[in-house]
Amino acid sequence: MPSMVERIINAYNWWNGINKIKEGLKEKNPDAIKFGVISAAAINFTSFFDPVQTHQGAEIVAIAARSRAKAEAQVANYKLTAAKVYDSYEEVLQDPNVEAVYIPLPNGLHHKWAINALKAGKHVLIEKPVGSNAAEAKEIQDCARETGKIALEAYHWRLHPAAHRVKEIIESGKYGHVTATSSKMVIPPGAIGADDIRFNYALGGGASMDLCYVVSGSLYWASAPNDVKGTTFEVLEAKSRVSKLDKRVDEAMEATFVIRNADSARPPVMCTTTCKLVLPKFLGFIPQFWDLTPTTVVELEQAKIELTAFIAPYIGHKIIITEKSGKKTVETVYKDGPVWGKRGEPWWTTYRYQLEAFVDRVKAYKNQEPYNGPWVDMDESVKLMEIIDGIYKKAGMPLRGAE
């Protein structure tokens, strides 16, 4: 059965006439980047197959799942006509035709398979969060450097023009410095089952891991462009609500941390994050059932900027600027923008922008050209995992991958 996210994408494609557009884009370019996919994950269609179907520079040539039948079912269901089915992930990595590997495994397996893929000479697009903890993230970064291959953590929202536009407004200086941020993400009741990987400690489960976008939102707004590495942070408070079945797994987490930039002209930024995989019940009801829109808010000296639906801005978002004077401006951005220039289509999802960036970067690599387009650097991925580790430590919980 399709997941809730897949059903949303299906409805989105139907509404925007994208299935017709896909027909016209079926033919791949001769130099299309050839991808392998390891696992028949539920997210595959939304995050990868769907964008590949509208990108003539990307092609899926291999897939494996722990059971061959599961991989074959995805090939048939999503018409992956060019994909060879293998019996193991390792065989995908050993296929000389595969240039890059998409890794949608449980979080606790990202590190192992990213390193295996890089060592097999493949570029990697790794689902978020990039590893179980910061040490694993750093090892992936080091391995990508050593092998000379490209590694991208799939923080798709960071590659959408709406996020870039908010960052542009912040950095314009018009409203002064950033002083605080708050980001929130809540999973709708019933969207995930009790046996989901998200509740499995050994597989890197936990709300802070799965809903790591809230930390990504904080760091992107708070840090000086091109100097994420230079930022330091201190977690001031972290309150978890843990699973009754495994106290190492956070069902929800509220955290406050301060981010400081190397550039001392920028004041410290107070960040608060809320993430909930499970909403608490009261007398059998969920009182917060309406509180589901993911939002991120940036407080500046002279204004507040809110980006609604920040992890899925393609579905419909608002950039709301409320100045201290009370003046309110609202804008939306679905294509182009300050980082992409003239690029994109109003219907491109965050995953489609992500694929565009990844393919562009691999192409530049193959042509031995520099790549200056939109990206999420591994320095940012490592810093994000350091903050997530810090949140777990402050909450008195073990780091993922530690036990």
Ligand X SMILES: O=C1OC[C@@H](O)[C@H](O)[C@H]1O
Ligand Y SMILES: NC(=O)C1=CN([C@@H]2O[C@H](COP(=O)(O)OP(=O)(O)OC[C@H]3O[C@@H](n4cnc5c(N)ncnc54)[C@H](OP(=O)(O)O)[C@@H]3O)[C@@H](O)[C@H]2O)C=CC1
- Rounded to 5 degrees, φ, ψ at 103 are -120, 90
Which residues are registered as beta bridge partners of 30? Answer: none
Indicate which of ligand Y, ligand X, none lies near residue 143 (CB less than 5 to 8 Å, by partner kind): none
Minimum CB distance to ligand Y, residue 74 (Å) = 8
- Among candidate residues 34, 84, 122, 128, the one labeled active-site is 128
Q: Is 112 in the site for ligand Y (CB under 6 A)?
A: no
Site string for ligand X, 183-212 (x = CB under 6 A): ----x----------------------x--
Among the candidate windows 39-47, 225-233, 284-292, 321-329, which touches ligand Y by CB under 6 A? 39-47
- DSSP 3-state assignment of 41? coil
Q: Count CB-CB contacts under 10 A for residue 96.
A: 8
Q: Is 127 in the site for ligand Y (CB under 6 A)?
A: yes
The residue among 278 and 303 lying less far from ligand X, judged by its C-beta, is: 278
Indicate which of ligand X, ligand Y, none lies near residue 107 (CB less than 5 to 8 Å, by partner kind): ligand Y
Binder among 7, 66, 247, 393 for ligand Y (CB under 6 A): 66
Sign of dihedral through CA atoms 41, 43, 46, 48? negative
Q: Is 186 in the site for ligand Y (CB under 6 A)?
A: no
Among the candidate windows 27-35, 65-73, 225-233, 283-291, which touches ligand Y by CB under 6 A? 65-73
Site for ligand X in 263-302 (CB under 6 A): none
DSSP result, 104-170: -S-HHHHHHHHHHHHHTT-EEEEPSSSSSSHHHHHHHHHHHHHHT--EEE--GGGGSHHHHHHHHHH
Indicate which of ligand X, ligand Y, none lies near residue 187 (CB less than 5 to 8 Å, by partner kind): ligand X
- DSSP 3-state assignment of 251? strand
Minimum CB distance to ligand X, residue 317 (Å) = 14
Is 324 designated active site? no
Binder among 39, 132, 147, 272 for ligand Y (CB under 6 A): 39
DSSP secondary structure code for residue 340 in this structure: H
Minimum CB distance to ligand X, residue 157 (Å) = 8
Report the Cα 242 to chain-centroid distance in Å. Answer: 24
Number of residues that bind ligand X (CB under 6 A): 3
Q: Count CB-CB contacts under 10 A for residue 369.
A: 9
Sign of dihedral through CA atoms 262, 266, 272, 273? negative
Identity at 240, one-letter amino acid code: S
Maximum pairwise Cα distance, the chain: 63
Q: Count CB-CB contacts under 10 A for residue 69.
A: 9
Q: Which residues bind ligand X (CB under 6 A)?
A: 187, 210, 311
Q: Which residues bind ligand Y (CB under 6 A)?
A: 39-43, 47, 65-66, 70, 104-107, 109, 127-128, 154, 156, 197, 203, 210
Task: Just list the catalytic residues.
Answer: 128
